[in-house]
Amino acid sequence: MATTRTITNAFITRTLPDIFYEDPERIEDDMEQWPAVFRISGMLFERYEDRPDVFVSGGGFIMYNRENGNRRVAPDCYIAFDVDERAILENLPNFWIWETGKAPDFVMEVASPSTASNDLGHKRDLYERLGIAEYWRFDATGGELYGQPLAGERLVEDEYLPYALHIGDDGSVRAYSELLDVEFYWDGQEFDVLDPVTGRTIEKREVEREARFAEREGRLAEREGRLAERQARLTEQQARLAEREARLAAEARERALLEEVERLRQQQAGQ
C-alpha cells in the first residue's frame, strides 16, 4: 500500500504520495560552500528586508512541477520580486512556482566539487527554461571548479547571455547585475556586494549609518548656518557702531574747529 504524507500551512493542506516528495540525498561536501552562501544571501537579505514584495532565500527547493514534487531544484541563493513574501514564508520550506505565480528572478550558485558540473550544465539549462532572469555563479577557488571565479548571465529572448567580467590589476574580479543594480566583487579572499556608484558595500546597516551621518551633518550645517547668520548680524551691528563713532568723532572735530575759529575771532576783536 502506498504511504502518504500531509503538508499543512496557512494556505493549503496537501496529502501527497511519498513518491511525490522523496527526501533528497545529502551532498558530502555541502558544508564547504556555506560560508560564502551565508555571506551572499545575508547581504542580499539585508538589502531587501524592508520590502514585503521581495523574497530572498539561502536554501530550500524551487518546486516547478505540480504533478511530481521530485522535479525540483535547490539554488544556493535566489530572489523573487513582486511576490507576497509573507505567503512564501508560511509556505516554506519550498518555493512552489504554481502557487507563487512565477519563478524567482535571480539565482546564484556557489561552487563545490560535487555540484560544479551540475551548476554549469543541468541547473543552467533548467533556470533558462524556467525563465529566471539572471543566473550567477561564484567560485571561491578562483576558477578551479567553474573555470572563472565569477560569472553572471542575463536572459535575453529565452537565452542566457554573459555579463562582462572586469579583472583588476590586483586580480580582483567584478561584474554588474542590471536586475539588482549592484556590483558583485571578489578580491581573492572575500565576496562583496557593492553600490555601483560609490563602490561601497551595500548593507542595510551601512545605509542606516550613512543616513544617521547625513542627518547629523545636516544638523551641524543648520547650526553653522545659524551661527553664520548671527555673526553676520554682529558684523553689521559693529559696522553701524563704527560708522556712528566715526560720525560722532567727525562732528566733535568740527565743533572743536569752530570753537577754535570763534576763539581766534574774539581774540582779534579784543585787540
User: Is CATH 3.90.1570.20 what the domain over 4-202 is classified as, yes or no?
Assistant: yes
Sketch the domain layout of the chain as residue ranges: 4-202, 203-271
Q: Which grid coordinates belong to 87?
A: 505567503
Side chain identity at 165, as an amino acid letter? Answer: L
Q: What are the E-state strand segments in the chain?
A: 4-8, 13-17, 54-57, 61-63, 72-73, 77-81, 94-96, 106-110, 134-138, 150-156, 159-162, 166-167, 173-177, 182-186, 191-194
Judge whether 229 and 221 are in contact, CB under 8 Å. no
Range with lowest mean pLDDT among 147-156, 159-168, 178-187, 259-268: 259-268
Question: Alpha helices of 68-203 — where are they, by DSSP H?
Answer: 85-90, 97-100, 116-120, 122-130
Range with lowest mean pLDDT among 1-15, 35-49, 87-101, 240-254: 1-15
Strands of 159-162's sheet in order across: 54-57, 77-81, 106-110, 134-138, 150-156, 159-162
Q: Which grid coordinates belong to 195?
A: 553600490
The pLDDT score that the predictor gives to residue 220 is 65
Torsional class of 142: left (φ above 0), alpha (ψ -120 to 50), beta (otherwise): left
Q: Single out the residue of 176, 173, 232, 239 nearest to residue 202, CA to CA.
A: 176
pLDDT in tens, 87-143: 888 877 789 999 899 999 999 999 999 899 999 999 999 999 999 999 999 999 999
Q: What is the mean pLDDT of residues 224-234?
A: 80
